[in-house]
Chain A
Amino acid sequence: MATLALLLMTVHVPALAQPAGPIPTSPKCQPATLVPLLRRHGMPDVVGCTRDVVDRSFKQADLGVAKAVPQADDAPTGVVFRQDPPAATRLVPGRQVTLSISTGPARPVPPESNTEPTPAATVSPIPTKQAMAAVPPVSGLAEARGMEAIRGRHLVPILGGKEFSSVAGGSMSRTDPPAGTTVPQGTLVRYWESLGPAPVPPPATPRVATVPPVTGMTPAEALAILRKAGLTAGEPIPELSLSGTGRISRQEPLAGKPPPPPGQMVLLWRSYAWFSTMGLVVVPLLILGAAAGLAFTRIGAKRRLIYTRAVLRIQPSLARDGEAQFDRTIPPAGPALGLRASLQPGEVHFTGPVPIERQEIQHD
């Protein structure tokens, strides 16, 4: 209820002139009748009821305040003489309730009357000698002509917006206040420009009974076929494959199976296209490289073993030549390592004197 009250219009209602004397109230205008109906979201018949009773009933029903449009009418002052929506209509959230409140019979308007237009929403106590005019019907008229018609009634046209409507685009669709409403001259009359009939949503693509086969197709072809079948599919998921061609390699659901429920996609997989070209070159190269590395390692180890064996075959041959020389060479048949060692004399360094404690001399 509170939501409904918020959605309902809360336009500032001008203070209206109250009726001069008591107005007889019928049973339908009693709050006890109006409030229960309003609480059930039903629009009561308030024509002939005084405005204060209606306002009080709306407030008691937590529906806020209805929009009141003061207009000249033969009905007693302060009495509702027209309502929108009509009686027995269900009040829905957002629906504007407009009540036309009588300001008394219309007075003759002097032809040279040129009163300043007053905004409808800020109408104050209505002047006693206000010239009135009925809003002309402009629906279907071109904008220029419609504005001319409104101005011809001494009203001020102002663009209220654009909307879709049944009338042709570019022409006026409706006005506020509606056509036929009697308002003081100089009142702002909002008009809406028509955009033409609202566009009709495209008919839904009929969904097929089974999923069409798309394996082997390019992703673009597969997506187009599924779209035509009323199905949705995401970007194909790439997967590694030795025979990668870039085409759809598999799908889920499988072809011929019932389509997935609305909101779910058909899953597609696409084999790697690069692997078939790059992989055929790179993988053998990697294998060859690994094999070559292994072979080189083994060859290196073998060479070292050959060296070691060659050295081990050496029979040390000591050859001393008076200078304390050691000679070890590998025979010419398979020399790998030759070692020749010699000893060179060095110096003597005394750290102090060599004391001769005594000597004995013997003669032959």
Chain B
Amino acid sequence: MTESSGCQVRELLPASLASMDDLMKQALCKDSDIRPRTLAWGFIGSEATDALRSVLDCDVFELVAQGWCMAKELHEYSDPARHPPGERSIVYLGKHSFVKTVHPVLDVTIESIKCPSLRFTLELAANFCSVALSITGGCITGAGAGDGDVGIQLKYGDATLLDKETRKVPFPARIDFKAPGLLISRSP
């Protein structure tokens, strides 16, 4: 887990999403038991946006670091033979980019009717000029001395709720992940 990064994913989302009301209405009214005229869709859309923002109260760099864990260039650091326990590596990465995807899922119940789950897609597009990773025992324990920006896009199926918006994320001097850190995936 991140510590003291100071930037959460929810902060990259706007307070309200204009098309969320219509999206909820169209998605939920596929169920014939739901009568659209009886519901306050504005309020439901607002609540759904809040629920999405709430579930995304995680650090931006926590998600980004999960991307680094998947980089095949770092797989060797998960090999104890090449990097035995007790060894601490500082790896300096050059300019690179990747997209980290997560899926917020909303389960909506109206009265006793359970609606189909709404699976959103949140894409974090990370562009780094440089970053230094601290790796110990096959886990990324910290990051620092970085420079880059992060773009965010929210979609539901083919509908785009939030178009790609790139923001310069202030990179802290150093981030320490909680022990034992983020596990680097092993080579297949």
- A residues within 8 Å of B by Cβ? 300, 303-304, 307-308, 311, 316, 318, 324-326, 328-329, 335-364
Q: Hey, which chain A residues are within 8 Å of B44, CB to CB?
A: 311, 337
- Taking residues whose C-beta sits less than 8 angstroms from the other chain, chain B's interface range is 35 or more
Q: Hey, which chain A residues are within 8 Å of B71, CB to CB?
A: 350, 354
- Residue in B closest to A299 when the chains form the complex, CB atoms: B38
In the bound complex, do residue B102 and residue A343 qualify as a contact, i.e. CB atoms below 8 Å apart?
yes
**B75-90 vs A, Cβ < 8 Å mask (1 yes, 0 no):** 0000000010011111
Known contacts A300-B37, A344-B103; is-contact A358 B92 (Cβ 8 Å): yes
Q: Hey, which chain B residues are within 8 Å of A357, CB to CB?
A: 92-94, 130
In the bound complex, do residue A337 and residue B110 qualify as a contact, i.e. CB atoms below 8 Å apart?
yes
B181 within 8 A of A: no
- Residue in B closest to A363 when the chains form the complex, CB atoms: B87
Q: Hey, which chain A residues are within 8 Å of B93, CB to CB?
A: 354-357
What are some 6 contacts across the A-B interface (CB < 8 A)?
A308-B43, A316-B50, A340-B106, A343-B55, A345-B102, A346-B101
**B83-116 vs A, Cβ < 8 Å mask (1 yes, 0 no):** 1001111111111111111111111111110000
Q: Hey, which chain B residues are within 8 Å of A311, CB to CB?
A: 40, 43-44, 47
Known contacts A304-B38, A340-B107, A341-B55; is-contact A359 B98 (Cβ 8 Å): no
Known contacts A341-B52, A349-B99; is-contact A362 B105 (Cβ 8 Å): no
A320–B83 CA distance with the chains assembled, in angstroms: 35
Q: Hey, which chain B residues are within 8 Å of A325, CB to CB?
A: 55
B58 within 8 A of A: yes
B56 within 8 A of A: yes
In the bound complex, do residue B91 and residue A337 qualify as a contact, i.e. CB atoms below 8 Å apart?
no
In the bound complex, do residue B51 and residue A346 qualify as a contact, i.e. CB atoms below 8 Å apart?
no
A311–B38 CA distance with the chains assembled, in angstroms: 14
B27 within 8 A of A: no
- Residue in A closest to B69 when the chains form the complex, CB atoms: A348
B5 within 8 A of A: no
CB distance from A337 to the nearest CB of B (A): 6
Closest CB pairs A-B (n = 7) = A346-B101, A338-B109, A355-B94, A341-B51, A340-B107, A341-B55, A326-B55
A300–B35 CA distance with the chains assembled, in angstroms: 11
Known contacts A300-B38, A344-B102, A349-B99; is-contact A339 B47 (Cβ 8 Å): yes
- Residue in A closest to B67 when the chains form the complex, CB atoms: A348
In the bound complex, do residue B38 and residue A303 qualify as a contact, i.e. CB atoms below 8 Å apart?
yes
- Residue in B closest to A351 when the chains form the complex, CB atoms: B97
In the bound complex, do residue A329 and residue B54 qualify as a contact, i.e. CB atoms below 8 Å apart?
no
Given contacts A341-B51, A354-B71, A357-B92, 10 further A-B contacts (CB under 8 A): A308-B43, A311-B44, A337-B47, A338-B107, A339-B107, A340-B108, A343-B103, A353-B73, A354-B68, A361-B87
In the bound complex, do residue A349 and residue B98 qualify as a contact, i.e. CB atoms below 8 Å apart?
yes
CB distance from A339 to the nearest CB of B (A): 5
- Residue in B closest to A361 when the chains form the complex, CB atoms: B89
A328–B16 CA distance with the chains assembled, in angstroms: 18
In the bound complex, do residue B73 and residue A354 qualify as a contact, i.e. CB atoms below 8 Å apart?
yes
Q: Hey, which chain A residues are within 8 Å of B54, CB to CB?
A: 316, 318, 326, 328, 341
In the bound complex, do residue B38 and residue A329 qualify as a contact, i.e. CB atoms below 8 Å apart?
no
| Residue of A304, A325, A329 ringed by the most chain B CB atoms within 10 A | A304
| Residue of A304, A329, A338, A345 ringed by the most chain B CB atoms within 10 A | A338
B70 within 8 A of A: yes
Q: Which residues 47-67 of B sit at the A interface, judged by CB distance below 8 A?
A: 47-48, 50-52, 54-56, 58, 66-67
- Residue in B closest to A336 when the chains form the complex, CB atoms: B111
A362–B55 CA distance with the chains assembled, in angstroms: 38
| Residue of A307, A328, A339, A363 ringed by the most chain B CB atoms within 10 A | A339
A324–B47 CA distance with the chains assembled, in angstroms: 18
